[in-house]
Amino acid sequence: YPSCSKLLVLFTLSGGSLVAYSESQSDIGTHSVEHNQKEPRKKRVVLLGTGWAGISFLKDIDYSMYDVQVVSPRNYFAFTPLLPSVTCGTVEARSIVEPIRNFIKKRGGEIRFWEAECVKIDAANRKVFCRSNIDNNLVGSGEFPLEYDYLVIATGGQVNTFNTPGVMEHCHFLKEVEDAQKIRDSVIDCFEKAVLPSLSEEERKTNLHFVIVGGGPTGVEFAAELHDFVQEDLVKLYPMTQDIVKITVIQSGDHILNTFDERISSFAEQKFQRDGIEVQTGCRVVSVSDKEITMKVKSKGEICSVPYGMVVWSTGIGTRPVLRDFMDQIGQTKRRVLTTDEWLRVKGCENVYALGDCATIDQRKIMEDISTIFKAADKDNSGTLTVKEFQDVIDDILIRYPQLDLYLKSKHLRDVKDLLKDSQGNERKEVDIEGFKLALSHADSQMKSLPATAQVAAQQGTYLSKCFSRMEKCKNNPEGPLRFRGSGRHQFLPFRYKHFGQFAPLGGEQAAAELPGDWVSTGHSTQWLWYSVYASKQVSWRTRVLVISDWTRRFIFGRDSSRI
């Protein structure tokens, strides 16, 4: 990223991971290709995907060492955090995309790109099968195989409907640039339809009922964008709709933004209440028809239906079919995403790496390590630690596993704090280890997978490209530098995620941010921080200028409400 963004680097979305030789006998025997005279001089790397993980890998890979080929059905990178802004015209779609061929040009053009979709991975024969998704009228089948020495899978996830009936047919999604453009058109359609003379008052209300299923960061940000669009622009253009527009967020959990610090989650809920955005928590959508959305209220077990004008489904991500098939091949059938080790190598096959939203690092070992740390600290085997010892143990755990900071210091802070107090709320002198482990196990399911964010994907891409760049050096010196020789297991340090915080824009020029060190920041100044960070994180000067000029245009002229 350009140097001008360095000042903000602490607050930014992504960061590099230090890669170095670690204590180590390399396990190169099982995880690298034996030298073969018939193979081309350069090892062939096939990269699937041009999202956050793929582009970060591509930006740093040393192409003088590898013959790199990239396969992706879209020939651009999309800056997904600004997709909600595209839905309402705050930012134009073309401002947040960067052509892949621009990246390639910058790298001297030595990387080959194929606009195609990988339809099958044949790990046994080190091949992938691809199919072009360009217009069928073109001559030729558009299908081709690619052979690889190393395969890097960064295909992200796809929308997850949880097999809820009617969702695919009647809901909008917010995953790709095209989705955002469709939503923008659909919002305008709802307003144009609502003012037609032939409609009853009830029908106008229904047309202007916007429902968002999913109270995670994407759903909440879209709700906030839509609210701003309606209040700042649309009700002025469609005055008769002023009092009948309704925005509802349906969330199955007890709170919206429940992966954020609870201070942010309650700030967001209060702000939405003031803005008139209805938040229905504890409700699970069971079906969607062309006119109504039906949900089950968990506490009462009741089923109710509400009519809507437009529904946006934003409930997380699922597995792509090509990966489902691959997972079956390699014995990962029951998994939701590809499982890798801490070096991002896919378990159960050789020379295949997976990163970003399509992968998860198997972190069961972390829980085992935590048990070992506790055992060592509990010298008298009493099952308890003094508060001081306990805090030292937590520090030790966080040094080894900084990624746990997110869980220990924010979402699960209450559980840990509770352990330091007795039932009357007095400070304890000793802490029950099992109690702590239980509290930690509440976070266990989340610890097993890092959050599916651009931040994780980008760090993994950078990490892996650095590993690849050093692979040759390590092969020539498999034991690593003298100072590291010993009983280690791998030539590289494992991937360690560094959490730089996360933002939740809440509309009305206000945002909330969770920053490193358990800091929470909310309000207008946070929104300005958001603007600076997102401008600085653009992948090129072209998109940076376009995005900033879109924001300026919006400040001066408002958003464009034409449906083109």
Q: Does 54 bind ligand FAD (CB under 6 A)?
A: yes
Q: Does 505 bind ligand FAD (CB under 6 A)?
A: no
What the block records as the tokens of 259 is 């992966």
Q: How far apart are CA 340 and CA 330, in angstroms?
A: 12
| Angle (nearest 5°) at CA 334 between 332 and 336 | 90
Residue from the set 43, 73, 238, 349 that interacts with ligand FAD by CB under 6 A: 73
Q: Please report how close the Cβ of residue 246 comes to ligand FAD at its closest, in angstroms.
A: 22
Give the other-Cβ count within 10 Å of 90's Cβ: 22
CB neighbours of 119 closer than 8 A, spacing ≥ 6?
A: 129, 130, 131, 322
Give the other-Cβ count within 10 Å of 511's Cβ: 25
Q: Please report how close the Cβ of residue 309 comes to ligand FAD at its closest, in angstroms.
A: 21
Which of the stretches 23-31, 295-303, 356-364, 506-514 binds ligand FAD when contact is defined by CB under 6 A?
Answer: 356-364
Residue from the set 26, 90, 132, 155 that interacts with ligand FAD by CB under 6 A: 155
- Using CB under 6 A as the binding criterion, the count of chain residues that bind ligand FAD stands at 34
Which of the stretches 50-58, 247-255, 331-339, 378-386 binds ligand FAD when contact is defined by CB under 6 A?
Answer: 50-58
Contact 120, 128 (CB under 8 A): yes
Q: Please report how close the Cβ of residue 51 comes to ligand FAD at its closest, in angstroms.
A: 2
Q: How far apart are CA 505 and CA 94, in angstroms?
A: 21
Q: Does 71 bind ligand FAD (CB under 6 A)?
A: yes
Q: Does 214 bind ligand FAD (CB under 6 A)?
A: no
Residue from the set 322, 337, 349, 433 that interacts with ligand FAD by CB under 6 A: 322
Residue closest to 258 by CA, chosen among 474, 13, 451, 488: 451
In the complex with ligand FAD, which residue's Cβ is closer, 390 or 407?
407
The DSSP letter of residue 426 is P
Q: Does 315 bind ligand FAD (CB under 6 A)?
A: no
Q: What length does the chain have?
A: 564
Name residue 66's beta-bridge partners: 43
In the complex with ligand FAD, which residue's Cβ is closer, 74 or 296?
74
Q: Does 249 bind ligand FAD (CB under 6 A)?
A: no
In the complex with ligand FAD, which residue's Cβ is closer, 327 or 474?
327
Q: Please report how close the Cβ of residue 386 comes to ligand FAD at its closest, in angstroms.
A: 39
Contact 83, 174 (CB under 8 A): yes
Q: Does 459 bind ligand FAD (CB under 6 A)?
A: no
Q: Please report how close the Cβ of residue 78 comes to ligand FAD at its closest, in angstroms.
A: 7
- Residue ranges in 2-21 that form contacts with ligand FAD under rule CB under 6 A: 13
CA dist list (Å): 70 to 113, 174, 192, 203: 5, 25, 43, 49
Contact 115, 134 (CB under 8 A): yes
Q: Does 161 bind ligand FAD (CB under 6 A)?
A: no
- Residue ranges in 80-99 that form contacts with ligand FAD under rule CB under 6 A: 80-81, 83-84
Report which residue's Cβ sits closest to ligand FAD. 51
Q: Does 49 bind ligand FAD (CB under 6 A)?
A: yes
Q: How far apart are CA 95 and CA 87, in angstroms?
A: 13
Where residue 295 falls (left for φ over 0; alpha for ψ -120 to 50; beta otherwise) is beta
What the block records as the tokens of 159 is 């929308």
Residue from the set 43, 209, 320, 466 that interacts with ligand FAD by CB under 6 A: 320
Which of the stretches 66-74, 201-209, 364-372, 388-396 binds ligand FAD when contact is defined by CB under 6 A?
Answer: 66-74
Q: Please report how close the Cβ of residue 500 comes to ligand FAD at its closest, in angstroms.
A: 10
Residue from the set 45, 174, 190, 245 that interacts with ligand FAD by CB under 6 A: 174
Q: Does 546 bind ligand FAD (CB under 6 A)?
A: no
Q: Does 499 bind ligand FAD (CB under 6 A)?
A: no
Q: H-type helices in 248-386, by residue range?
A: 262-275, 321-329, 364-377
Q: Please report how close the Cβ of residue 83 comes to ligand FAD at its closest, in angstroms.
A: 4
Q: Does 166 bind ligand FAD (CB under 6 A)?
A: no
Please name the amino acid found at residue 275: D
Q: How far apart are CA 77 and CA 86, in angstroms?
A: 15
Name residue 129's beta-bridge partners: 120, 145
Q: Please report how close the Cβ of residue 552 comes to ligand FAD at its closest, in angstroms.
A: 21
Q: Does 480 bind ligand FAD (CB under 6 A)?
A: no
Residue closest to 212 by CA, chosen among 280, 260, 299: 280
Which of the stretches 103-111, 355-363, 521-529, 547-555 binds ligand FAD when contact is defined by CB under 6 A?
Answer: 355-363
Q: H-type helices in 255-340, by residue range?
A: 262-275, 321-329
Q: How far apart are CA 145 and CA 161, in angstroms?
A: 31
Q: Does 247 bind ligand FAD (CB under 6 A)?
A: no
Which of the stretches 75-83, 105-113, 463-471, 511-519 binds ligand FAD when contact is defined by CB under 6 A?
Answer: 75-83
Burial of 138 (C-beta count, 10 Å sphere; 0-12/13-18/19+): exposed
Contact 57, 465 (CB under 8 A): yes
Contact 374, 393 (CB under 8 A): yes
Q: Please report how close the Cβ of residue 356 comes to ligand FAD at its closest, in angstroms.
A: 2
Which of the stretches 48-56, 191-199, 245-253, 484-492 binds ligand FAD when contact is defined by CB under 6 A?
Answer: 48-56
Residues of the shown chain interacting with ligand FAD in the complex, contacts defined by CB under 6 A: 13, 48-54, 71-74, 80-81, 83-84, 117-118, 154-156, 174-175, 218, 320, 322, 356-358, 452-455, 457
